Structure 1
Amino acid sequence: MLCNTRRKDTSMKNLSILCKDFDLTDAIKLYATEKMSALNKYFPDNGAEAVFNLRLGKVTNSQHSGKIFYAEVTIKSPEKNFGALVEAEEIYAALDFLKDDLAHNIAHYKDKSHSKNIRSARKFKEELHTTAE
């Protein structure tokens, strides 16, 4: 069974969900929307929104046990693109791990960018004081 549907969500306009090898139920769609909308806080609304492309699927169709579901997302924002791929035993667990992984990566990037700005401002201030003396 191959389910390859692309559905736009009405509550989160910038999320598209691509489902492969299993049916996308309303419960999974709602859960994915909740998890991805929690990441919107990292992208302030300054005219251009971040676009979330979420892909859900099964690694294999045969009767394997273990990590058979995957969740993959690509986030295209004006500043930088982010992405992650997670495999888990259940699709809900994969979405949880995906959200946590992305939150960590985005926060790390934002902190790194903020630290770089502070460091260059500090360097500029030091140069300003040395030239004034």
Structure 2
Amino acid sequence: MFGGGGFDPQKMQQMMDQFGIDIDELDAEEVIIRTADEELVFTDAEVQRMDAQGQETYQVIGTPETREAGEASAVESGDGDSGGNGGIPDADVEIVANRAGVSEDDAREALEEEDGNLAAAVERLE
């Protein structure tokens, strides 16, 4: 369909326009995919939204951190175990510490200063 001569972005754009396909980059701070067993948390993901004749499709590119299902939703509702330190879940502290390459104490402090926002805490520490 595209031939063996390589990728031609202009031709690709013309084909997408012809078929009514529109792609937008989203400035996502965090993407969470919840399954019955786990949550995949993308804090530094590239997200694209493709609209093809009214049908929207999202593409998430990145490496997720994994946590057990229910950790974030329990904390959001105020019913969950926050790890005992300032309402910040231990799983979130671990994610920020690993992503930013800092100690868990520094990660917890950044999360508290950013009201639990993982992306903002990582950005603060980098």
Q: Which has the higher helix share?
A: 1
- Short-chain TM bin: under 0.3
When normalised by structure 1's length, the TM-score is: 0.27
